[in-house]
């Protein structure tokens, strides 16, 4: 069954060589009780370790059931120890932080047996050695004799072919020694038992065969065995493996024995998690506020299509003197570099024509509240002076004359009425002031108030009237020059019954929390007034004349194509708008509208495309980028503590490796592979990382409450700014686990490379 052929083993320490085994050859029967005796240093334990696969021979061969072990790999020796060898050590070598039952199960766990089978077999062997009532105790709760019985039960549990006993009674009293030896002799009835002992009396009393060794050689054998014929190769190995779950169980029980240190280590690891978590929770809260702003208040912002859609500076052109020679670094020379900024600026001109208006007609009406069209048609406006009542023309450029956006709800949500009311009819006007109630002095002067005025009561301006004169009443045709001239008889124009009377009905100011001051400061009118003026102007004599001429009908100057188009719009002959505002019903609808607008540009050259501007997106993108930048910086600083804690965890894991060296040897003796040993310590760092992650995220979550309370007292709208999301929680726990696993890689490799024989000798 087992045959050693000329086995040699030499230990080299520096320049010193010790020949532990000097060409021993011996064969063993399938079942016998063999005692190997001899003085210290004779090679007894080395022989035992080599037979058991804990140590490697330098030359010779071991034949197991006809199979040579010369070419065995590490994994095959591991499988051999697990399936064919059962070790019983002088110092018991039990794992102290798991139960007796778990100790006995360990070898079977490495064999991959199902849990139910393991439990049943472990209970049976413990009953056989008389420890049925002690299986749930820890080893340190047992006597020396009981611990040795546990070691024997563990050796028997996997039903090995060979039991290796190294001084099994060396630490026991005489009575207990007899009990243990009787048990071992009983085992030897159907197994090969190889006992190493200094006690020749025990060998003579219990062994069926005694081998004497001296100076690494066999010098005597009381019952030698020589196989009658060559045995056939009938040896098979089963791959061993420790599951990560079992590794977790081992490490968890070990950490429980050092709970205080484990929790302190986990807390230290959680500090970085807390820092990053707080930054992420604040960032998440701010981004959520931005998103709420965009989907809420800012969703009312229109999508704007204007003549000049956007300004873009190309990155490479704006790099100036940044080139390959400078490798992106700032210049150090005392030189100025001339860059043509105008040439590097691109103005995209939108061309809004009837084709585009027809395209907008296809937009689903359910997606928008209104589409507003901005036109540049002139309005001939007159009022009376507040000083002397004289009629005066009003320069609309001086009074901030403009159209109120079509979305009345948006305007009313962002503006307070200080006096009067919002306009509801085409003849009603609105005066918009700034946040300090300031009004441009040019505006007041332009509508008839004293230029030296400092203050003005609201009631003195609400009700202020204007007259709107239509083109045919305002322009006079000259037969002599064939040109049109504006009338200078203001009194007659003002008194004309065909004029339209307008009046200021309200004064408004942006609210303190307004999403945007979308209304310009000045006097504004309803878009219906534009429709009325445009309808009249399009049929006026001057507009029709301008449509037929290539020269300016008021000056006779030749017009370019662009200036002629502008003149037609000014006089009302061209109803094509110069700008468009689309007011989506909500945030989701805005995205749908944008998708629709994008389809217009499909397949078109860039110059022919119509580009829209989403002011809400521009605002939120800018703020969001700023928040993200700050977040990255703060996370980077917080991550430093993560790195420091990871290094500390690596050190703690290495300390654990030193503390668990004997456990490493025990596991290797039971057949654990090197990667299984790594897995045990990886499991330990996993548990520490998981605990640190959970501890850090829980503390962070708890801290969000006082943070929100403090910010809520300072800023009402910031009462829930710290928002620790589930995604951030899961991500940080994962980061904590990954970092701790990474920090434990080196210690776990050190553990895996430990020599099992040396590890077993560690106290």
Q: Give pLDDT tens digits for 441-467.
A: 899 999 999 877 888 899 999 999 999
Burial of 467 (0-12, 13-18, 19+ CB in 10 A): buried
At 240 the pLDDT is: 78
- Tell me the CB-side half-sphere exposure of residue 413, using CA atoms within 13 A: 13
Tokens of 331: 């210049």
Q: Judge if 232 and 274 occupy the same domain.
A: no
Confidence of residue 370 (pLDDT cuts 50, 70, 90): confident
- The helix/strand/coil state of 468 is strand
Tokens of 608: 């022919």
Confidence of residue 317 (pLDDT cuts 50, 70, 90): very low
**Which of 112-121, 297-306, 421-430 is predicted with the least confidence, judged by mean pLDDT?**
297-306
Q: Judge if 170 and 30 occupy the same domain.
A: yes
Are 196 and 166 spatial neighbours (Cβ–Cβ below 8 Å)?
A: yes
> What is the DSSP code string of 478-536?
-TTT--EEE---HHHHHH-TTSEEEEEEEEEEE-TT-S---SPSEEEE-HHHHHHHHHH
pLDDT single digits (tens) 181-217 = 999 999 888 899 999 998 899 999 999 999 999 999 9
Q: Judge if 521 and 436 occupy the same domain.
A: yes
Q: Judge if 190 and 278 occupy the same domain.
A: no
Q: Nearest 5°: phi and psi at 14? A: 65, -125
Domain assignment present for residue 17? The answer is: yes
Q: Judge if 44 and 140 occupy the same domain.
A: yes
- The helix/strand/coil state of 13 is strand
Q: Which residues pair with 307 in a beta bridge?
A: none
Are 3 and 70 spatial neighbours (Cβ–Cβ below 8 Å)?
A: no
Which of 138, 126, 136 is CA-nearest to residue 97? 138
Are 619 and 298 spatial neighbours (Cβ–Cβ below 8 Å)?
A: yes
At 322 the pLDDT is: 44
Q: Judge if 262 and 236 occupy the same domain.
A: no
Tokens of 723: 């928002």
Are 197 and 143 spatial neighbours (Cβ–Cβ below 8 Å)?
A: no
Q: Judge if 551 and 634 occupy the same domain.
A: no
Domain assignment present for residue 365? The answer is: no
- What DSSP designation does 552 have? -
Tokens of 298: 């800012």
Q: Judge if 186 and 121 occupy the same domain.
A: yes
- The helix/strand/coil state of 218 is strand
- Close Cβ partners of 478 (under 8 Å, ≥ 6 residues apart): 484, 485
Give kind and range of the element (H or E) at residue 380: strand 380-384
Q: Look-up: residue for tokens 């084709």?
A: 355
pLDDT single digits (tens) 94-104 = 988 889 999 99
Question: Which CATH number belongs to the domain containing residue 155 in this structure?
Answer: 3.40.50.300
Are 90 and 171 spatial neighbours (Cβ–Cβ below 8 Å)?
A: yes
Is the pTM higher than 0.85? The answer reads: no
Confidence of residue 136 (pLDDT cuts 50, 70, 90): very high
Last residue of a domain, one of 190, 209, 240: 240
Q: Judge if 42 and 142 occupy the same domain.
A: yes
Buried b / exposed e along 667-704 (16+ C-beta atoms within 10 A): bbbbbbbbebbbbbbbbbbbbbbbbbbbbbbebbeebb
Containing domain of residue 481, as a range? 376-576
Last residue of a domain, one of 551, 576, 601: 576
Domain assignment present for residue 353? The answer is: no
**Which of 184-188, 245-249, 336-340 is predicted with the least confidence, judged by mean pLDDT?**
336-340
At 385 the pLDDT is: 93
Domain assignment present for residue 447? The answer is: yes
Confidence of residue 482 (pLDDT cuts 50, 70, 90): very high
- The helix/strand/coil state of 394 is coil
Give kind and range of the element (H or E) at residue 109: helix 100-111
pLDDT tops 80 at residue 586: no
pLDDT tops 60 at residue 294: no
Domain assignment present for residue 93? The answer is: yes
- Tell me the CB-side half-sphere exposure of residue 432, using CA atoms within 13 A: 23
Q: Nearest 5°: phi and psi at 159? A: 50, 60
In whole angstroms, what is the distance from residue 172 CA to residue 148 CA? 9
Q: Which residues pair with 5 in a beta bridge?
A: 61
Last residue of a domain, one of 545, 576, 607: 576
Tally of domains in the chain:
3
In whole angstroms, what is the distance from residue 281 CA to residue 516 CA? 27
Domain assignment present for residue 615? The answer is: no
Q: Judge if 147 and 265 occupy the same domain.
A: no
> What is the DSSP code string of 38-50?
-STTSSHHHHHHH
Domain assignment present for residue 175? The answer is: yes
Which of 381, 393, 394 is CA-nearest to residue 470? 381
Q: Judge if 530 and 560 occupy the same domain.
A: yes
Q: Taking the CB of residue 150, how many other CB atoms lie within 10 A of it?
A: 26
At 172 the pLDDT is: 85
At 307 the pLDDT is: 82
Are 368 and 582 spatial neighbours (Cβ–Cβ below 8 Å)?
A: yes
Domain assignment present for residue 652? The answer is: yes
Q: Judge if 742 and 624 occupy the same domain.
A: yes
Which of 614, 429, 415 is CA-nearest to residue 516? 415
């Amino acid at each position: 069954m087992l045959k050693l052929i000329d086995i040699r083993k030499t230990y080299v320490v520096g320049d010193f060589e010790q020949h532990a085994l000097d060409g021993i050859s011996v064969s063993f029967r399938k079942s016998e009780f063999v005692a190997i005796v001899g003085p210290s240093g004779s090679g007894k334990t080395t022989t035992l370790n080599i037979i058991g696969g804990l140590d490697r021979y330098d030359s010779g061969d071991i034949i197991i059931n006809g199979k040579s072990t010369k070419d065995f790999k590490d994994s095959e020796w591991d499988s051999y120890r697990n399936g064919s060898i059962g070790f019983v050590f002088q110092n018991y070598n039990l794992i102290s932080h798991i139960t007796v039952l778990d100790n006995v199960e360990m070898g079977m766990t490495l064999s991959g047996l199902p849990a139910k089978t393991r439990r049943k077999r472990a209970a049976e062997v413990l009953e056989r050695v008389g420890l049925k009532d002690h299986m749930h105790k820890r080893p340190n709760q047992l006597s020396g004799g009981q611990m040795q019985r546990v070691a024997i039960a563990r050796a028997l549990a996997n039903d090995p072919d060979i039991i290796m006993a190294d001084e099994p009674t060396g630490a026991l009293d005489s009575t207990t020694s007899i009990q243990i030896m009787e048990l071992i002799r009983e085992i030897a009835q159907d197994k090969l038992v190889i006992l190493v002992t200094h006690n020749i009396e025990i060998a003579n009393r219990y062994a069926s065969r005694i081998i004497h060794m001296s100076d690494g050689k066999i010098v005597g054998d009381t019952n030698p065995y020589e196989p009658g014929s060559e045995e056939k190769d009938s040896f098979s190995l089963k791959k061993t493996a420790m599951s990560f779950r079992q590794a977790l169980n081992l490490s968890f029980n070990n950490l429980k024995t050092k709970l205080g240190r484990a929790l302190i280590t986990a807390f230290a690891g959680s500090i970085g998690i807390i820092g990053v978590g707080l930054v992420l929770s604040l960032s998440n809260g701010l981004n959520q506020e931005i998103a709420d702003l965009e989907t809420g208040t800012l969703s009312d912002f229109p999508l704007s299509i204007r003549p000049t859609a956007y300004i873009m500076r190309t990155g490479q052109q704006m790099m100036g003197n940044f080139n390959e020679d400078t490798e992106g670094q700032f210049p150090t020379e005392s030189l100025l570099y001339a860059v043509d900024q105008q040439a590097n600026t691109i103005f995209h001109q939108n061309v809004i024509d009837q084709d585009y208006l027809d395209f907008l007609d296809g937009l689903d009406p359910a997606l928008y509240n209104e589409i507003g069209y901005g036109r540049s048609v002139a309005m001939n406006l007159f009022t009376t002076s507040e000083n002397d009542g004289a009629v005066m023309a009003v320069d609309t450029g001086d009074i901030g004359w403009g159209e109120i956006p079509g979305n009345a709800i948006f305007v009313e949500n962002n503006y307070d009425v200080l006096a009067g009311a919002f306009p509801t009819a085409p003849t009603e006007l609105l005066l918009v002031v700034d946040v300090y109630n300031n009004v441009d002095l040019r505006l007041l002067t332009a509508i008839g108030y004293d230029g030296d005025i400092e203050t003005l009561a609201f009631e003195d301006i609400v009700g202020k009237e204007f007259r709107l004169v239509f083109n045919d009443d305002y322009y006079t045709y000259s037969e002599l020059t064939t040109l049109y001239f504006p009338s200078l008889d203001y009194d007659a124009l003002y008194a004309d019954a065909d004029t339209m009377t307008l009046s200021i009905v309200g004064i408004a100011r942006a609210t303190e929390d307004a999403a945007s001051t979308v209304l310009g400061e000045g006097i504004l009118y309803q878009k219906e007034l534009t429709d009325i003026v445009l309808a009249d102007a399009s049929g006026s004599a001057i507009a029709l004349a301008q449509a037929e001429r290539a020269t300016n009908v008021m000056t006779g100057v030749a017009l370019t194509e662009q200036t002629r188009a502008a003149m037609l719009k000014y006089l009302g002959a061209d109803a094509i708008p110069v700008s468009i505002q689309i007011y989506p019903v909500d945030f989701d609808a805005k995205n749908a509208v944008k998708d629709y607008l994008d389809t217009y540009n499909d397949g078109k050259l860039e110059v022919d495309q119509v580009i829209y501007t989403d002011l809400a997106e521009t605002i939120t993108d800018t703020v969001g980028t700023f928040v993200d930048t700050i977040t990255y910086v703060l996370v980077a600083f917080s991550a430093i503590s993560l790195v420091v804690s990871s290094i500390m965890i690596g050190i703690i894991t290495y300390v654990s490796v030193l503390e668990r060296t004997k456990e490493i040897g025990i596991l290797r003796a039971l057949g654990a592979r090197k990667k299984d040993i790594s897995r045990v310590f990886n499991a330990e760092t996993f548990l520490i990382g998981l605990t640190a992650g959970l501890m850090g995220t829980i503390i962070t979550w708890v801290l969000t409450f006082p943070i929100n309370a403090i910010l809520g007292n300072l800023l009402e709208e910031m009462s829930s700014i710290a928002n620790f999301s589930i995604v951030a929680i899961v991500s940080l726990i994962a980061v904590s686990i990954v970092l701790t696993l990474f920090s434990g890689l080196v210690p776990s490799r050190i553990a895996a490379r430990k020599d099992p024989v040396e590890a077993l000798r560690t106290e």
